[in-house]
Amino acid sequence: MYRILFAASEAYPLVKTGGLGDVMGSLPAALAALDCDVRLVIPGYRDVVESVVAPIIKAEFTIPETGHPVRLLETTLPGSDVVTWLVDCPSLYGRRGDPYNDEHNIPWPDTAQRFALLCRAVHAISLGIVETGWLPQIVHCNDWQTGLIPALLSQSADRPATVFTIHNLAYQGVFPYDTFVDLKLPEYLWSADGLEFYEHLSFIKGGLIFSDRITTVSPTYAREIQSAEFGAGLDGLLHQRSEKISGILNGIDEQVWDPAHDEFIVAHYDADNIDRKAENKQSLQKILGLQEKSDKPLIAFVHRLTDQKGVDLVIGALPELAKLPVQLAILGTGNPNYEQQLVNFAEQQVCDIAVRIGYSEPLSHQMAAGADFFLMPSRFEPCGLAQIHNMRYGTIPIVRSVGGLADTVTDTNPQTIAAGTATGIVIDGVDAEALVAAIRRALEIYNQPYVWSDLLQSAMRGSYSWRDSVDKYLGLYQSLLASRR
């Protein structure tokens, strides 16, 4: 089938800070399973390079514009057969920390240089300037870190087709003009029809303007980003390119997120065997130091602690939530101000609450298995994977109806229960009162055993795989290649 080169800043299990990592860890493999010849390129961050056993040195080259020496290391993405290339450049990537921040959560001062190098390397590989013995038909770029790739490729007559997927329009990679100069980007790219954005350099504009097709990760978000409310200043541009935009819903990795086989949880279960979920709840309560009460509804919140995720709404609701018979379990990292407020609440024990600041893959699985509800009051949500993971674990999402949340979660009411389609609770509003009202409604539902049991069944039995979405990507690639003949 097609030869596709995926480019991104993270890919699970090598490196992940959020849903982009999940998608890069599963979509390329799902396409490879349908006989596509897929390769993935990510930066060779220090921890990643150290974790890879005996990589092959596929190529060694220098980026002419910046003089950076690069080795292209070949490995396979663990858990799959996907050939993965690491752009190894120790002066830019050989440090501890995550892709975007240092160990103290401070953004890297040379973020632009780090991702420009990734883009330059992918550009060279895609045109055969760097010999790998393989040329892609399609370069599939993901988020702003890869935005310069379509821009750099745009001038080459014999270039591969380009697709740019927006996982989150709120992150745009905007830097001062000096950075544009420092990166030695071609002068013609400095214009309003190019990378210039209010006299700054915008990486994401490279993807939005120069790619052949734009996708985003849910149909609703594809519509929303063309409006001022969700367009983050780029709605005008997106509206102009409307015909090239489509929304394709993310799937999840059904092997990594499977309560019947999850290596991180104490008791395995599925929709036929849901009683065993209670053992996971007890274990989670023990791990987190919460009261070990089986009948007290446990609400989990596992997110990057940003405004996007509505963490401030949760903080605002805590005094009211303290009056309800619920337990709260919070895991996250992000805005230090939110981190501190949550820690303070936990220390004061205003309610039965446990807060863990940090990033923990095992605990996120244990919370999906052990909680009754999963809170996701996002202001906007391109797709959201956490609510899908939790539905599969029989943990009912309480969400705002935006973006991918609107496309994946169906509110519980007499009609949807009767139809067997109810999978969650929708919050009606963007304030703490609306959040508390939704949680009160959730508790009423929890206390109706038959309704609750139907809800768990329809949430757990939903179809969350990549199957349908991969077909949509194949259709997109096919029509794109046909249009270029």
Which spans of this chain sit near ligand GLC (rule: CB under 6 A)?
Answer: 18-20, 23, 167-168, 217, 250, 381-385, 404
DSSP assigned state of 48 = H
CB nearer to ligand GLC: give 168 or 333: 168
CB nearer to ligand ADP: give 21 or 147: 21
Q: What distance lies between CA 35 and its chain's CA centroid?
A: 25
Asked if 125 and 143 count as a contact pair (C-beta separation under 8 A), the reply is: no
**Shortest distance, CB of residue 120 to ligand ADP, whole angstroms?**
26
| 304: partner contacted, choices ligand GLC, ligand ADP, none (Cβ within 5-8 A by kind) | ligand ADP
**Shortest distance, CB of residue 110 to ligand ADP, whole angstroms?**
24
| 303: partner contacted, choices ligand GLC, ligand ADP, none (Cβ within 5-8 A by kind) | ligand ADP
Q: What distance lies between CA 159 and its chain's CA centroid?
A: 28
Give the residues lining the site for ligand ADP (CB under 6 A): 18-20, 22, 302-304, 331-333, 359-361, 364, 383-386
Asked if 152 and 64 count as a contact pair (C-beta separation under 8 A), the reply is: no
23, 106, 145, 298, 363 from 111: Cα distances, Å: 22, 11, 9, 39, 29
| 333: partner contacted, choices ligand GLC, ligand ADP, none (Cβ within 5-8 A by kind) | ligand ADP
**Shortest distance, CB of residue 142 to ligand ADP, whole angstroms?**
12
| 217: partner contacted, choices ligand ADP, ligand GLC, none (Cβ within 5-8 A by kind) | ligand GLC
| 360: partner contacted, choices ligand GLC, ligand ADP, none (Cβ within 5-8 A by kind) | ligand ADP
DSSP assigned state of 159 = P
Q: What distance lies between CA 198 and its chain's CA centroid?
A: 28
**Shortest distance, CB of residue 299 to ligand GLC, whole angstroms?**
20
CB nearer to ligand ADP: give 17 or 246: 17
CB nearer to ligand GLC: give 20 or 456: 20
**Shortest distance, CB of residue 387 to ligand GLC, whole angstroms?**
9
CB nearer to ligand GLC: give 315 or 383: 383
Question: Which residues are CB-neighbours of 473 under 8 A, at least 6 positions away?
Answer: 27, 31, 215, 248
CB nearer to ligand GLC: give 145 or 366: 145
Q: Which two tokens stand for residue 336?
A: 């230090």
Asked if 354 and 328 count as a contact pair (C-beta separation under 8 A), the reply is: yes
CB nearer to ligand GLC: give 84 or 250: 250
What residues form DSSP beta bridges with 355?
330
User: Nearest residue to ligand GLC, using CB?
Assistant: 19
CB nearer to ligand ADP: give 18 or 78: 18
**Shortest distance, CB of residue 124 to ligand ADP, whole angstroms?**
29
- Cα separation, 401 vs 428, in Å, equals 8
H-type alpha helices, 131-214? 148-153, 177-182, 203-210
**Shortest distance, CB of residue 101 to ligand GLC, whole angstroms?**
15
| 253: partner contacted, choices ligand GLC, ligand ADP, none (Cβ within 5-8 A by kind) | none
65: amino acid identity, one letter: E
Q: Which two tokens stand for residue 274?
A: 């849901």
237, 440, 455 from 413: Cα distances, Å: 39, 14, 10
**Shortest distance, CB of residue 15 to ligand ADP, whole angstroms?**
12
CB nearer to ligand GLC: give 118 or 405: 405
- Cα separation, 143 vs 166, in Å, equals 5
Helix, strand, coil shares of the chain as percentages rounded to 5?
A: 40, 20, 40
| Residue labelled with tokens 């768990």 | 456
Task: Give SS3 for 134.
Answer: coil
DSSP assigned state of 107 = B
**Shortest distance, CB of residue 280 to ligand ADP, whole angstroms?**
16
